[in-house]
Structures are given as C-alpha cells and as structure tokens.
Chain A
Amino acid sequence: MTLQFLADGLIAGALIGLGAIGVTLTYSILRFANFAHGEFVSFGAYATLLLAAIIGSVVAGADQPIGPFSFGWGVIVAAVAAMASTGALALALDAVLFKRLRDKGAAITIVMASFGASMALRSLLEFAFTSRPAYFSRDLQIALPVGLGIRVTPDQIALLGITAVLMIGVHLLLTRSQIGRAMRAVSENPALARVAGVDVARVIRAAWLIGGALACVAGVMLGLLVQIRPFMGFDLLLPMFAAAILGGIGSVPGALAGALIVGVSEAAAVQMIGAEWRAAVAFLLLIGVLLVKPTGLFGRSD
C-alpha cells in the first residue's frame, strides 16, 4: 500500500468537484437534480477537441506542447472558447426545455426531462464522434516523483493548479460579488428574493453559465488525463451527485469537500480492491450519507 492513492484521489476529486459545483448550483437555484450535467462534461471535452483541431490546422505551432506539458496553447484557447459554448448549451437547454416545465411548476417532470436530454445529447455525441475514444495527445507523460513514494505527471500538477484557481474564483464570485449575493438570496428563498428586487432570470442564467463552464473544464481535464468518450460525463454523474449530497446539497465548499472524499475513497478502492469496482464507491458513500446524515457535511436541514 503506497500513498499514491492520495495523489490520484486528489486529482479525481478535483475533477468530480468541478462537476459537483454545477450540480449543487443547479439544485440550489433551480431546485432539481440535473441528470444532463454529465453531458455538459462530455460536450465540453468534444468542443475543446474540435476547436483545438481547427486552431491547430490554421495556426502553425498551436499544437506544440508547452514545456513539460502534453498540450499546446491551442488546447488552452480552445478550452476557454468551449467553456463559453458549454455554458451556451446549458442556457439553450434551459430555454427550450427546462424553462417551459418550470413555468408549469412540475418539479419532478423537470428531473425526467433532464434525464431524457442527457440520453439524447449523449447519443448525439456518439453519432457525431462515434464511441471510439479520442485523445488530445498520444504522447505519454513521465510521472515525476514528488516524495513519499508519490508520482505525478506535469499535466496533473497543472490541472490541480487550474482547479484551485477556478474554485477560489467561484468562491469569491459567490461571496463577494453582486450576482453572487443574488444567487445566494435566490437559493435561500426565491419568493423573498424576487420581492426584494433580485433579477431571478439573471441568477438562473449565471448558475447555468458557471455550472456549464466548470463542467467543460472537468471534461477537458478528463480528456487530457484519460481519454474522451461519449459516456465520459455519464460515468461521472454518480460521483458528482454523491459529492454534492455528501457535502450538503446547495453548498459549494461542501461539493468540493464531498468530491475530495469521493475521489480519495475511489482511489483507495482502486488500489485495494481493483479498478473494476471504482464506480461502486460513489454509490456506497451515497447510501451511507443518506442513512446517517442526509443533510450532508455542510448542508442545512430544511
């Protein structure tokens, strides 16, 4: 038993956390569990792949790896553009599907609609890109020892850093900015927030944009570290839900803490039991938290 699982778990946790923030934001502001959130992850990865390929074919040298990393600046530019387009996808889905149902006031029907949208989006990705895995780069990275018997690749370090910056950014946005205050007001009490003059439609747009953009980053990370498949986001859905509920649904720091717990537990299980049982960890944690403390670590009981 080495401590490698801590590093692996931290990286998996960062990835799950980026997705879980979107899940928890959607839940606290729109009040439904969005099953299509996993497809935002996959869509973001494929959009980045496509845009990076276009940039690479137009601008020479865009796909040249930067320093010790496996990706060039083309991927970075593409990822930023893809974050915007994933946010746009979330907004579009809301406009054509969720908004109509929200206006009718059928809460659980929205969950079902999101399940249908998830299935349709995933199949569209499969149609467009086939189910064969795709890669940003075929190069293998050498993992560097960082002490205590732990090895990490330069990509993993870079992605951990980016995640940390994004998390701090989201935290500051929610706690310090005007829109953040409005978002928290809507999550506390939508009726009261509306009466107090909060633009609820704008808050909803912000939640979709932030959730979509972060999901896209998770997809790019997963694509850089493992591979890109139409099912990649769907397979991440249960860990994301488990993390959001474990941390207390509606709580952004909770989603991150929950994600780290899920990630490290998964990595420990992979090392001790076997990689094929990885997906069971999130399920067991989910059942455990629902049995013991359904409000989660940072959640409020309502």
Chain B
Amino acid sequence: MPDMIGLTAYASFFLVTALVNAIACLGLNVQWGQTGLFNVGVAGFVAIGAYTSALLTTPASPEHLGGFALPIALGWLGAMLLAGAISAFVGAVTLRLRSDYLAITTFGVAVAVQLVALNAQKLTGGAFGIGFIPRPFEALAERPALFGLANLLLVGALVAVLYVGLERLVRSPWGRVLRAIREDERAARSLGKSPTLYRLQAFALGGAIMGLAGAVNAHFIGFIAPESYQSSLTFQIWAMLIVGGSGNNRGAIFGAGLIWALWSVSGLAIGAFFPPEEQARAAALRIVAIGLALAATIALRPRGLFGERATVSRHLDDANAMITTDRV
C-alpha cells in the first residue's frame, strides 16, 4: 500500500516539525511564560543552534570552515551551549535595564544572525546554506515510513524529557522565585533574591532550549539556509505560546501543534486554490491570519487556551494535611 506509506511519512514529518516547534516554544515559555522576558529574536537563537550543530557534525568541507564530523548528540550539546552562552551575554547586557531594551536587543540579535548566515560564506555557506547534515537513523532513509517513525520517536522522547524536566523546574524553589520576580520584583528582592541573576539564568536556559530546537530540526531536514530563520519564525513560535497559554508547558506543546496544523493546512489550501503566480501573495495572508489570531488572543483571552495553573510547593499539601490532622 504505497499510499499508506506516503501518508505515514507525511504524518511523521508533520508531527516531527510540530514537536520541533514545541521545543522552541518550551524554551520561550521559560523566558516569557515563567519569567516575563520578552524575546523578539527567537529565530536568531534557533538559527545559532542549527548552524552550530551543522558545523560540528558535518564532514570536513572545502566550501565552509569546520565540518568536524562529530556525533549528532555532541552537535546538539554544542548548539545548546552556544545558544545559551549568547543568550547569557544578551541578558547580561540588557537585563539590568528596562524590559523594552531586551526586546530591542534580541531583535538586533536576530538581524545580526541573519546577516552572518547570509554573508559569512566561509562559516555558514551564505545564501546556499549547509547541506549533508547527518540525520539520525540515516540507515533507514530508504524506507521513508520507518525513517519518519524512528525520528518521531526520538524527537517525541526529547520533548517528553524536556517537558518533565521543565515541569520539575517550575515546581522547584527556583521556578517559584522566577514567578515571584515576574509578579512582584520588589517583594522578591526584599526576600533577598537577585532578580537580575535569576532572569539571566532563565533567559540563558530558554535560549539553550531554542538552540536545541534549531539543531534537532537541522538534523531532521539535513539542510539549512538563512531564509528558514526569518522573523516570521519568531512570530509563529510566539503565536504558538500565546494561543496555547503562556506559563503552561502543556499549553506550549499544544499551541505548537495547533498553530503548526493551521499553518500547514492553510499552506495546502493556498497550493490547491491559488494559481502559482498568486501563491506568494496568498502566503502573505497566512501571516496576517496568524497575526489576527495572536492579537485576538491577547485582547480577548490573554491566558490562552490552557492558561497558567497556580503552582505551589509540593510540601504545601503535606503541611496543610498536617495542620488538618493536628486540628482533628
């Protein structure tokens, strides 16, 4: 049944991409959802991860520097480290200032990364990008359905690990300090917490996760180019988080799936209903639609579909239980 195989391959491609978006969205949730830090350069941090991992893992190439042929896992780790380090630098420069400065600077990072990707040919391959990025389960590439499923399992496991890890962090004392700072900086400061330091950690962690998303995607597709990391990507990830419900990791993942589904379906519709010469124009309408969805969510349902749940220490229940038993 060739149709079945094609369908499975397409479904796993769709799901893997949705999950990759979910990773970036989880990273943004650490920055915005938990800490209230506004990052307008998500695409830049995703790109840093993608290019880092590509340079670390591709075989040596005469076209660009590097090509260190390292294992994929090391590429992912390198991507997280560099994206995290650059986030930490941006945070160190801007977090002590007004929140808008972080937004403006991250916007600048995305512009600068795009510029380097396009023009530093020796490093990034320029407009043609980098190809032949090793893919996980390359041996299965002959059988697209199996290859897709294997990748889906790998990325799915990765998202699950991230989700569990981040949920633990949210409930940890560290996570509570982040939300305390977000809600009332002065109160948190008066309890002896350094808002700048905690924000810096959250911003770096979120940036590292975005870098991981870029790296995972680069290895799944096997090819990267600057045009994949434009501001519309930032915009999509934001729409996913806001629609899903910022502050809620489940919302981040669900929002990523939902917006990616709408994006894909509208793409298919444009391909089917518009003549080829009008398709670029119609594609612009997709972004308008996402923008309207975003604006409507902010204005009408600011908590998104899921919204943030109140999280308190897991010891609180025990303490309450004890108080109740004492009374009895």
Write the residues of chain A forming the contact surface with B, with a CB cutoff of 8 angstroms: 27, 32-33, 35, 97, 100-101, 104, 106-109, 111-113, 115-117, 119-120, 122-124, 126-127, 130-131, 234, 237-238, 241-242, 245, 276-277, 279-280, 282-283, 286-287, 290-291, 294
Q: Is B107 an interface residue (CB 8 A)?
A: yes
Question: Which residue from B93, B242, B284 sits with its C-beta under 8 Å from A287?
Answer: B93
Q: A-B pairs with CB below 8 Å: how many?
A: 115
A35/B107 contact (C-beta < 8 A), A115-B40, A124-B284, A280-B112 known: yes
A235 and chain B: residue at smallest CB distance: B111
A120 touches B288 (CB 8 A): yes
Q: Which B residues are CB-close (under 8 A) to A112?
A: 38, 238, 242, 298
Q: Could you tell me how many residues of chain B have their Cβ less than 8 Å away from some Cβ of chain A?
A: 41
CA distance A104 to B300 in the complex (A): 12
Q: Is B132 an interface residue (CB 8 A)?
A: no
A277/B119 contact (C-beta < 8 A), A100-B299, A111-B100, A127-B284 known: yes
A111 touches B38 (CB 8 A): yes
Question: Which residue from A33, A101, A108, A120 sits with its C-beta under 8 Å from B104?
Answer: A33
Decide if the interface of chain A is mainly helix, strand, loop or mixed: helix
CA distance A112 to B40 in the complex (A): 8
CA distance A287 to B99 in the complex (A): 15
A119 touches B107 (CB 8 A): no
A57–chain B nearest beta-carbon distance, Å: 24
B112 and chain A: residue at smallest CB distance: A283
B302 touches A109 (CB 8 A): yes
A294/B97 contact (C-beta < 8 A), A119-B231, A130-B281 known: yes
Q: Which A residues are CB-close (under 8 A) to B161?
A: none
A286-B105, A290-B97 known, 9 other contacts, Cβ within 8 Å: A100-B299, A108-B100, A108-B103, A111-B100, A117-B291, A120-B287, A120-B292, A130-B281, A290-B105
A287 touches B285 (CB 8 A): no
A106 and chain B: residue at smallest CB distance: B302
A-facing residues in B268-289 (Cβ within 8 Å) = 280-282, 284-288
B113 and chain A: residue at smallest CB distance: A283
Q: Which B residues are CB-close (under 8 A) to A35?
A: 40, 103, 107
B101 touches A294 (CB 8 A): yes
A101 touches B108 (CB 8 A): no
CA distance A127 to B112 in the complex (A): 27
B298 touches A115 (CB 8 A): no
A120/B115 contact (C-beta < 8 A), A127-B284, A127-B288, A238-B107 known: no
